[in-house]
Structure 1
Amino acid sequence: MSFAQFNGTLPATDAWSGYLAQAQDHIQNNQRLALLLLINSPIIAILLNAIRQLIIPRKASDPPEVFHWLPIVGSAISYGNDPLGFFFENQKKYGDVFTFILLGRRVTVALGPKGNNFVLGGKSTVFNAEDAYTHLTTPVFGKDVVYDVPNDVFMEQKKFVKVGLSTDNFRSYIGMIEEEVEEFIKRDSNFSVYQMNDINEWGSFDVVKALSEITILTASRTLQGKEVREALDKSFAELYNDLDGGFTPINFMFPNLPLESYRRRDRAQKKMSDFYVDIIKKRRESHDTADHDMIAALLEQKYRSGRQLNDREIAHIMIALLMAGQHTSSATGSWAVLHLAANPEVADALFKEQVRHFMGPDGKMRSPTYEDIRTLPILDSVIRETLRMHPPIHSILRHVREDVAVPGTLSSPSRDGTYVIPKGNYVLACPAVSQADPSIWREAEDWQPARWNDQSGFAAQALKMYVDENGEKIDYGFGAVSKGTESPYQPFGAGKHRCIGEQFAYLQLGTILSTLIRVMEFRIEKVPEHNYHTMIVMPKHPRKVSYRRRRLD
């Protein structure tokens, strides 16, 4: 017997080889199982997510949750493609209050006029706008303004801006806006037919491109100041576009992606801020008080503490005004021109209104005044109906800082208890739903400016509730305003975050539309659908409008 045989090595080696083979098979099986799990993990996650929603009961106080297959993603795709359709569909299932998942965020929706009042009339310490928006607005507007400061400071800044939105300033802006529109259509290559003075030839132009350029030209000539208007060259346009590239839905949902567009945004913000600071420093040094623009107004303002606005704060407020006003006004102007092109009888009535009020004995049109623009019923109804159907912003979010009970009037009629929205959720109001609700508005899907001319009709009553000129006013820190949160018509928001540029927007839009309709006829076969993939709701392509010089005979 050899030593190996005595020691039992040879039989042990055979056993060890067997163990190794079994272990290798076990490892291979585990690897196959792991690979299968990896391949099927999305399916497993989807199934577990569905089972959780179907089997695990929700708390009685929780609003109903919209069923969704994809975890984390939730209802983001359905909501992003067609928010109003998404809201109306789920309103039928769950009532006016329900929760949906938006890329990991729990968003509780409160629909209808009562829902708008609940969210937009809520306390800022509970329903907070800064928490909801600062990650989007601060990189674009800059530090120390708007949602980058506490609410009480923002309200003071709104008061400063309101000083610059004075009636005297508005009176001086009418002629400037008219001149800018006339000069634009005289030199822009898309209006070559107009420039040839041929009343029989038709041309075409991209309505969004044209109205975007007109809006920024008129805003810079008036609110922004002469230095900004003089700087509107190619380099400024590129700077603006880079900054605007940071004001998109992807920036809102994912604020810190390592993308070149984000880096361009940050570089553009710094350059734009420095550009305004240079203007402000020169204004301070020259002591020039003759200007009627926003910079001149802001240079004179002080906080309640007695501190003046510094140069960087003024610069960032000016950027905020430029970006926010540009998008909303160009969107509304574009939709208005599209509807006038699709409804030539309304366009003709609008033109005849201009003739009645402004045509002189010499056959020439005089310029409207500020008071004129405010008192033209057809022009007013065209703007209001356009804003009803196409409010620039459809969803308004707030971050919930503490548990909040939903009023019983908002809960489902069949419920005995009250919903509670937990701290950490978001709440969402959608005035666009109220403005398009067929149970509220007659023929809600039709663009009917005439509905605003019936003083006893529903539209007029909704407007009265929104404006409430003779009713109770509330001062949130920037002057007494109508709360307006209970109206089914809220084109400029409501409550303390109601847009203070509302009157300027009407002035700007009214003057632009008046000038265009005097000199051109428009035609389009069909008004485009909404593009909800942008921060401000724009028309989808194709959006070219045919035009020709207006016949004055």
Structure 2
Amino acid sequence: MELEVLQAYALSVYQSFSELKLSYRISIILLIPFVYNLLWQLYCSVRRDRVPLVFHWIPWFGSAVNFGMRPYEFFEECREKYGDVFAFVLLGKVMTVYLGPKGHEFVFNAKLSDVSAEEAYKHLTTPVFGKGVIYDCPNSKLMEQKKFAKFALTTDSFRTYVPKIREEMISYIKSHFKTNENDSGKVNVLVSQPEITILTASRSLMGDEMRKRFDTSFAKLYTDLDKGFTPINFVFPHLPLPQYWRRDAAQQKISNTYLSLISHRRNTGDIVPSRDLIDSLMSNSTYKDGVKMTDQEIANLLIGILMGGQHTSAATSSWFLLHLGDKTHLQEDLYKELTELLASTKGDIYDLTYDDLQKLTLHNNVIKETLRMHMPLHSIFRKVMNPLKVPDSNYVVPKGHHVLVSPGYSMTSERFFPQADKFDPYRWEKMAEAANDATNQSNLDKTVDYGFGAISKGVSSPYLPFGGGRHRCIGEQFAYVQLTTILATFVYNFRWKLADKMPLVDYASMVTLPIEEDSNIIWEKRDTCVI
């Protein structure tokens, strides 16, 4: 009987609606989402078990514009109003933010059963990396994939990488800066650094044979892959748009390039586990359950490994060249440090070794400071798999929502770093505790092994440029080897200055890049230039 009454009432409402003028009907249809949005926000505001929700007028879009264009300013404005814990709507998804070191602990050390990076990212990353790797597999397999990759990230490997990185960089500069013809010139670092990064990484990690199959066009292909990591891809991973077609074409071409070499080595039996990362994976990629990675999965993992470092190192080296172009006196400090070290060994830039890199304190601090000001990924997400209680509160994050943490916010906040907007590598001589490799002194003896080797469990530092927990980047040491070699080679051979003003940050993608049109430097040869 009740069902019949409801049906009759619904029919009556529909008839009344259909009798309205067309303009009224359209207005009501358009108004309903806004009314629902306001009522839903009102409901959330009276629930004491929900974190404060940032008010928004536009349904579904929520705070996407403010977050996408100015994330750190948006976070700070919300913090001042709501505190360190708040939520906002991002393209239909509810994101619960916890700012600061306590937030790092809350998200990075959350139980695997409670939060999932795979569920947060797999629809975004699978079209870029390919199937069966990174987030397109259970977390246990990802941990084993990290372990497979670490065969090529040893100290002995790093010692062989330094001369290869230097050689690739010098060859690139001779060709593209035309140093045989010019003593000075102008270059856009957003063009040069992605190309230098991809060539140096492919030569060192992938080996000489794969490097011969690469050229600077592969930097453009990786840029096309990078553009698969934008907010719109986060919600709509497959759309009939040119940027999606370029992403898919780039993935296919790079994957086929790896597969061609893998197939050649399989067919000829030319596999030397210690030769390069490709052979290492071909020899050491059997999971604990006895299942071997397929060659296609190895190719896909190689894309993920190279890309994981390519876009972050390219962004970091671009930024430190720009900052040093803005503060040219720091170049002279770096030059003094470098030449004094080389003089002590009676060598030049061609004699710089891996062990020497560890002695270049200011060089390493320039990289550290660049990462502080420009963490490549401004926000890190996890999907909530079970209701998640926020510590020391009554708040519960519901299943299906997302949690968001932003080490980049902490690293650029005055609360944790005095004069946070000032590029000052010397601050690290005064802040040893913050530089303690993403951990506090009290946590130095606390480690955990997620399957790819012991790492620090402590994530309560405000300085976490390589993330934390089970998803912490395994390429941190390689990044420093690559970036320090690139920086030292620049410093030894050139002086440079900004061609224009110091560029602002472009947050259009999820990688924090400088605005391209303002990213030019003017270089000139030093007396010691060997290029």
Asked whether the two chains share a fold, i.e. TM above 0.5, the reply is yes
Instruction: Give how far 1:234 is off.
Output: 6.8
- What do residues 493-543 of structure 1 show as CA deviations (whole Å, max 9, x unaligned)? 001000001100000000001001111111125321111111211001311
Instruction: Give how far 1:126 is off.
Output: 1.0
Farther-moved stretch of structure 1 (542-551 vs 74-83): 542-551
Distance, in Å, in 2 between the alignment partners of 1:533 and 1:437 is 21
Map of 2:504 onto structure 1: 529
Query: 1:359, 1:366 within 8 Å by CA — same for their partners in 2?
Result: no
Q: Given the superposition, is the C-alpha separation of residues 267 and 548 from structure 1 closer, same or farther in structure 2, using an over 3 Å criterion?
A: closer
Map of 1:449 onto structure 2: 425
Map of 1:489 onto structure 2: 463
Give SS of 2:383's match.
Answer: strand
The answer as to 2:278 corresponding to 1:295 is yes
Distance, in Å, in 2 between the alignment partners of 1:98 and 1:43 is 27
The answer as to 2:305 corresponding to 1:317 is no
Query: 1:159, 1:478 within 8 Å by CA — same for their partners in 2?
Result: yes
Instruction: Give how far 1:54 is off.
Output: 4.8
Query: 1:451, 1:459 within 8 Å by CA — same for their partners in 2?
Result: no
The answer as to 2:283 corresponding to 1:286 is no
Give SS of 2:275's match.
Answer: coil
Distance, in Å, in 1 between the alignment partners of 2:113 and 2:411 is 28
Give SS of 1:100's match.
Answer: strand
1:122-521 to 2 correspondences below 5 Å = 122-188=110-176, 191-192=177-178, 194-198=179-183, 202-233=184-215, 236=218, 239-284=221-266, 285-289=268-272, 292-301=275-284, 302-359=286-343, 364-408=348-392, 411=393, 418-454=394-430, 458-460=433-435, 462-463=436-437, 465=439, 470-521=444-495
- What do residues 340-390 of structure 1 show as CA deviations (whole Å, max 9, x unaligned)? 111111111001111001137978444221111122110011010000010
Instruction: Give how far 1:276 is off.
Output: 1.4
Farther-moved stretch of structure 1 (232-241 vs 264-273): 232-241
Q: Given the superposition, is the C-alpha separation of residues 381 and 237 from structure 1 closer, same or farther in structure 2, using an over 3 Å criterion?
A: closer
- What do residues 148-182 of structure 1 show as CA deviations (whole Å, max 9, x unaligned)? 11001110110111111111111001001101111
Farther-moved stretch of structure 1 (321-330 vs 74-83): 321-330
Query: 2:390, 2:397 within 8 Å by CA — same for their partners in 1?
Result: yes
Distance, in Å, in 1 between the alignment partners of 2:60 and 2:135 is 27
Map of 1:121 onto structure 2: 109
Map of 1:549 onto structure 2: 525
Instruction: Give how far 1:140 is off.
Output: 1.2
Query: 1:468, 1:482 within 8 Å by CA — same for their partners in 2?
Result: no
What amino acid maps onto 1:421 in structure 2?
Answer: V
Instruction: Give how far 1:41 is off.
Output: 5.1
Map of 1:415 onto structure 2: none
Distance, in Å, in 2 between the alignment partners of 1:402 and 1:98 is 19
Q: Given the superposition, is the C-alpha separation of residues 467 and 41 from structure 1 closer, same or farther in structure 2, using an over 3 Å criterion?
A: farther
Map of 2:12 onto structure 1: none
What amino acid maps onto 2:83 in structure 1?
Answer: G
**53, 60, 84: which is aligned to 1:65?**
53
Query: 2:502, 2:518 within 8 Å by CA — same for their partners in 1?
Result: no
Distance, in Å, in 1 between the alignment partners of 2:85 and 2:346 is 61
Give SS of 1:204's match.
Answer: strand
Distance, in Å, in 1 between the alignment partners of 2:317 and 2:480 is 10
Q: Given the superposition, is the C-alpha separation of residues 276 and 550 from structure 1 closer, same or farther in structure 2, using an over 3 Å criterion?
A: same
Instruction: Give how far 1:251 is off.
Output: 1.6
What amino acid maps onto 2:521 in structure 1?
Answer: V
What amino acid maps onto 2:283 in structure 1?
Answer: E
Distance, in Å, in 1 between the alignment partners of 2:523 and 2:28 is 57
Gaps of 5+ in 2: 1-14
Farther-moved stretch of structure 1 (353-362 vs 179-188): 353-362
Give SS of 1:312's match.
Answer: helix
Instruction: Give how far 1:52 is off.
Output: 4.9
Instruction: Give how far 1:33 is off.
Output: 3.1
Farther-moved stretch of structure 1 (236-245 vs 503-512): 236-245
Query: 1:474, 1:480 within 8 Å by CA — same for their partners in 2?
Result: yes
Give SS of 1:465's match.
Answer: coil
- What do residues 428-476 of structure 1 show as CA deviations (whole Å, max 9, x unaligned)? 011111111211111111111001123x65534x547269895221101
Give SS of 2:434's match.
Answer: helix
Farther-moved stretch of structure 1 (107-116 vs 32-41): 32-41
Query: 1:359, 1:365 within 8 Å by CA — same for their partners in 2?
Result: no
Query: 1:107, 1:427 within 8 Å by CA — same for their partners in 2?
Result: yes
What amino acid maps onto 1:533 in structure 2?
Answer: A
- What do residues 402-437 of structure 1 show as CA deviations (whole Å, max 9, x unaligned)? 1111100xx4xxxxxx10000010000111111112
Query: 1:467, 1:484 within 8 Å by CA — same for their partners in 2?
Result: no
Larger radius of gyration: 1
Query: 2:189, 2:519 within 8 Å by CA — same for their partners in 1?
Result: yes
Distance, in Å, in 2 between the alignment partners of 1:468 and 1:31 is 72
Query: 2:44, 2:50 within 8 Å by CA — same for their partners in 1?
Result: no
Farther-moved stretch of structure 1 (440-449 vs 224-233): 224-233
Instruction: Give how far 1:245 is off.
Output: 4.0
Q: Sequence identity of aligned pairs in percent?
A: 45
Map of 2:5 onto structure 1: none
Query: 1:397, 1:429 within 8 Å by CA — same for their partners in 2?
Result: yes
Farther-moved stretch of structure 1 (80-89 vs 313-322): 313-322
Distance, in Å, in 1 between the alignment partners of 2:18 and 2:133 is 57
Query: 2:213, 2:257 within 8 Å by CA — same for their partners in 1?
Result: no
What amino acid maps onto 2:359 in structure 1?
Answer: T
Q: Given the superposition, is the C-alpha separation of residues 483 and 353 from structure 1 closer, same or farther in structure 2, using an over 3 Å criterion?
A: same
Q: Given the superposition, is the C-alpha separation of residues 426 and 547 from structure 1 closer, same or farther in structure 2, using an over 3 Å criterion?
A: same
Instruction: Give how far 1:298 is off.
Output: 0.9
Distance, in Å, in 1 between the alignment partners of 2:497 and 2:423 is 16
The answer as to 2:78 corresponding to 1:94 is no
Q: Given the superposition, is the C-alpha separation of residues 45 and 328 from structure 1 closer, same or farther in structure 2, using an over 3 Å criterion?
A: same
TM-score calculated relative to the size of structure 2: 0.90
Query: 1:220, 1:228 within 8 Å by CA — same for their partners in 2?
Result: yes
Q: Given the superposition, is the C-alpha separation of residues 346 and 459 from structure 1 closer, same or farther in structure 2, using an over 3 Å criterion?
A: farther
Gaps of 5+ in 1: 1-26, 412-417
Query: 2:198, 2:218 within 8 Å by CA — same for their partners in 1?
Result: no
Map of 1:20 onto structure 2: none
Query: 1:530, 1:538 within 8 Å by CA — same for their partners in 2?
Result: yes
Distance, in Å, in 1 between the alignment partners of 2:253 and 2:527 is 46
Instruction: Give how far 1:226 is off.
Output: 2.2
Instruction: Give how far 1:278 is off.
Output: 2.0
Map of 1:3 onto structure 2: none
Q: How many residues align?
A: 511
